[in-house]
């Protein structure tokens, strides 16, 4: 199953986007038995930057982190984590 949507809000605050991601995750968790394993992909650079800011990822390490995360389609999370340590 795949879905995609854009969020239009009256302000530039990322809280609306974060809420939509959280609700999407809650729905997927509720129906995980029916849909199986799922992954939420975020392509908005503003949201990704906000997540990295919140996680206090240093700016100079973000490019490598994002490059490694983009390989998750072809690698498992364990291998990606190993390449970052």
8 and 48 part of one domain: yes
User: What's the start-to-end Cα distance of the chain, in Å?
Assistant: 33
Find the farthest-apart pair of alpha carbons in the chain and give their distance in angstroms, rounded.
41
The whole-model pTM stands at 0.65
State pLDDT tens for residues 49-66.
888 998 899 999 999 888
Whole-angstrom Cα distance, residue 49 to residue 57? 9
Q: Looking at the structure, do residues 47 and 7 belong to the same domain, yes or no? A: yes
pLDDT tens for 3-59 read 777 777 777 777 888 888 898 899 999 999 998 988 888 888 888 888 899 889 999
Domain match, 62 and 45 both: no
Are 3 and 24 found together in one domain? yes
Q: How many domains does one find in the chain? A: 2
Q: Judge if 47 and 61 occupy the same domain.
A: no
* Domain of residue 15, residue span: 1-54
Q: Are 36 and 4 found together in one domain?
A: yes
């Amino acid at each position: 199953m795949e879905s995609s949507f854009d969020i239009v809000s009256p302000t530039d605050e990322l809280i609306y986007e974060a809420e939509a991601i959280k609700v999407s995750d809650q729905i997927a968790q509720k129906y995980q038995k029916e849909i199986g394993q799922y992954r939420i992909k975020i392509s908005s650079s503003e949201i990704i930057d906000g997540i990295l800011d919140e996680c206090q990822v240093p700016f100079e390490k973000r490019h490598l982190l994002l490059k490694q995360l983009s390989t998750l389609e072809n690698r498992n999370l364990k291998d990606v984590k190993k390449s970052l340590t």
